[in-house]
C-alpha cells in the first residue's frame, strides 16, 4: 500500500511551478474528436484522470501519442459511439464526452459517470439542455442511449451555471447550422480555455467568461495546437502549504486573476500577497487570523475545490471561522480526519464552524476524495509529529508531483510503497 509520510513542523519557502489545469485539459481532450484531424495539446498534467481520458479516446478509435506533457490526438478514425461502464465509473468528468460523441457520431451510449463521492453532481442539466437541442435520450439499464437526427440550435437557459453542461452544449453546437446561445453559462477560466481551443480549430464561439455564450455553428473544424492554462486549484494548494507552515512561496506559471477569491481570503488571514504577470508571491503572517465567512460559489466566487485546503488553514487560525459549502453537500468529509489531528471543527448541515487551535498533531489520515487528500497533506505539514496520508489514488487524480514540489519547498515528506496491498 502506498502512502505519503510527513514529519510536520518545517516552514516552507521557495518557488513552486504549477502544472496544467486538470479541469481544462479533460474537456479539451474530449473536444479533439470533433475535428476528425490531429490536435496537439501542450502542458497536459500527468494525472490518472488524464490517463483515463486518453484511454477513452483510444477506445473510441483515436491514435494517441504522449510525449512528456504533450498529447497528440488523431481522431480521424472514430469507430464507436460507446463508452463502457468500467471506464465511465473512474472519471467524474467523463460525461463531457456525451456532447463530443453526439456531434461526431450522431449517437452515443454511455453510463452515468463515477469519480469522487463528494455529493450529487446531477447531470439533469446536461440532459435537459441536449434534449432542447434535439437529442433523443433514453435511460436504460444504467446507460444513456442518445440519438441526434438534426441539431436544433436555439437559446438554452441553464437553471444553474453548470461547468459540464456549458461545455457539453459548446461541444455539440460547435459544428452545426445555426446559432446556439447559452444563458446563465458557467464563467470558469476552464470554459474560456475550451472556447479558445475550439476557436483555434475554426469554431465561432464568443462570450466565455461571461454569463452569455454564443456559438455560431460552422461546417467543419481543423487541426490545431493549444497550450492548457495553469491549474488554479493546485496553485491554491501550494499557497495553503506556505500559509499553514508560516512560510512564503512564489507560485510560478499561474494566471493570478484566476484565483483572486482565494488570495482575498489569505489576505483576510493576514498574509502578504503580491501578484506579477505569471506568478504570485505569498508571505504568511506570524499568526493566522480568523475569517468571518468563506462562502463557496460558482466562479468568480470562492471555488469549492479550494474549500478543503482553506479549512485546513483556518483550523490553525486565531479564533472562530465559518465556511459555508454551497456546491457539494458532502464536501466536508475531510473534517473528521482533521479532528483526529486535534482540530476543533463542528459541522452543521453545509456549514463548518472552525475554532482554530494552537497545534495539530500527526495521525494516520485517509483521503476520501481528491481535494480532501490535498487538505490532509496541507494539515500534516504543520502538525506536531508524523502523519501518514492514505488513498493516494484520489490525490493522483489532480496532482502531478505534489510530494516533489513540497519537498523542494522544504517539507519533510516522502511517498512510501510498503509493498502490501
- Catalytic residues, which ones? 116
Distances from the Cα of 371 to the Cα of 6, 196, 197, 318, 388, angstroms: 18, 27, 27, 24, 16
β-bridge partners, 384 = 361
CA distance linking residue 47 with residue 140, whole number of Å: 32
Sign of CA dihedral 314, 320, 326, 328: positive
The sheet carrying 272-275 orders its strands as 15-17, 248-252, 279-283, 272-275
Residue keyed to cell 447531470: 123
User: CB-hemisphere CA count at 13 Å for 321?
Assistant: 26
User: CB-hemisphere CA count at 13 Å for 89?
Assistant: 5
Q: What is the 3-state secondary structure (H, E, C) of 36-97?
A: CCEEEEECCCCCHHHHHHHHHHHHHCCEEEEECCEEEEECCCCCCCEECHHHHCCCHHHHHH
On whether the CB atoms of residues 394 and 2 are closer than 8 A, the answer is: no
Q: What is the CA radius of gyration of the chain?
A: 21
Residue keyed to cell 510560478: 252
CA distance linking residue 291 with residue 268, whole number of Å: 7
Name 140's Cβ contacts closer than 8 Å, sequence gap at least 6: none
Amino acid at each position: 500500500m502506498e502512502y505519503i509520510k510527513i514529519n510536520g513542523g518545517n516552514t516552507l519557502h521557495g518557488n513552486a511551478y504549477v502544472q496544467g489545469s486538470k479541469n481544462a485539459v479533460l474537456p479539451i481532450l474530449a473536444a479533439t474528436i470533433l475535428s476528425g484531424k490531429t490536435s496537439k495539446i501542450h502542458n497536459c498534467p500527468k494525472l490518472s484522470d488524464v490517463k483515463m481520458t486518453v484511454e477513452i479516446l483510444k477506445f473510441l478509435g483515436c491514435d494517441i501519442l504522449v510525449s512528456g506533457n504533450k498529447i497528440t490526438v488523431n481522431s480521424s478514425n472514430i469507430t464507436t459511439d460507446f463508452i463502457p461502464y468500467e471506464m465511465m465509473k473512474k472519471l467524474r468528468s467523463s460525461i463531457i464526452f456525451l456532447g463530443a460523441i453526439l456531434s461526431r457520431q450522431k449517437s452515443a451510449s454511455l453510463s452515468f459517470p463515477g469519480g469522487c463521492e463528494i455529493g450529487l453532481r446531477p447531470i439533469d442539466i446536461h440532459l435537459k439542455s441536449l434534449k432542447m437541442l434535439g437529442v433523443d435520450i433514453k435511460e436504460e439499464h444504467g446507460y444513456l442511449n442518445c440519438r441526434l437526427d438534426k441539431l436544433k440550435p436555439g437559446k438554452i437557459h441553464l437553471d444553474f451555471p453548470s461547468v459540464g453542461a456549458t461545455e457539453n452544449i459548446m461541444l455539440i453546437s460547435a459544428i452545426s447550422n445555426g446559432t446556439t446561445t447559452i444563458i446563465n453559462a458557467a464563467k470558469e477560466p476552464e470554459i474560456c480555455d475550451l472556447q479558445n481551443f475550439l476557436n483555434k480549430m475554426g469554431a465561432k464561439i464568443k462570450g466565455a467568461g461571461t454569463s452569455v455564450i454564443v456559438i455560431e455553428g460552422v461546417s467543419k473544424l481543423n487541426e490545431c495546437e493549444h497550450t492548457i492554462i495553469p491549474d488554479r486549484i493546485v496553485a491554491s494548494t501550494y499557497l495553503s502549504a506556505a500559509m499553514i507552515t508560516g512560510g512564503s512561496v512564489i507560485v510560478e506559471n499561474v494566471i493570478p486573476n484566476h484565483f483572486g477569491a482565494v488570495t482575498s481570503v489569505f489576505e483576510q488571514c493576514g498574509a502578504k500577497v503580491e501578484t506579477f504577470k505569471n506568478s504570485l508571491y505569498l508571505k504568511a503572517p506570524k499568526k493566522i487570523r480568523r475569517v468571518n465567512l468563506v462562502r463557496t460559489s460558482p466562479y468568480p466566487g470562492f471555488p469549492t475545490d479550494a474549500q478543503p485546503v482553506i479549512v485546513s488553514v483556518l483550523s490553525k487560525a486565531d479564533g472562530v471561522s465559518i465556511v459555508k459549502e454551497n456546491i457539494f453537500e458532502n464536501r466536508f468529509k475531510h473534517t473528521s480526519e482533521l479532528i483526529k489531528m486535534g482540530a476543533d471543527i463542528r459541522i452543521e448541515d453545509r456549514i463548518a464552524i472552525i475554532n482554530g487551535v494552537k497545534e495539530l498533531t500527526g495521525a494516520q489520515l485517509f483521503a476520501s476524495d481528491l481535494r480532501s487528500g490535498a487538505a490532509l497533506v496541507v494539515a500534516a505539514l504543520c502538525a506536531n509529529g508524523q502523519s501518514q496520508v492514505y488513498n493516494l489514488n484520489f490525490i493522483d487524480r489532480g496532482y502531478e508531483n505534489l510530494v516533489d514540489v513540497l519537498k523542494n519547498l522544504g517539507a519533510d515528506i516522502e511517498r512510501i510503497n510498503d509493498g502490501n496491498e
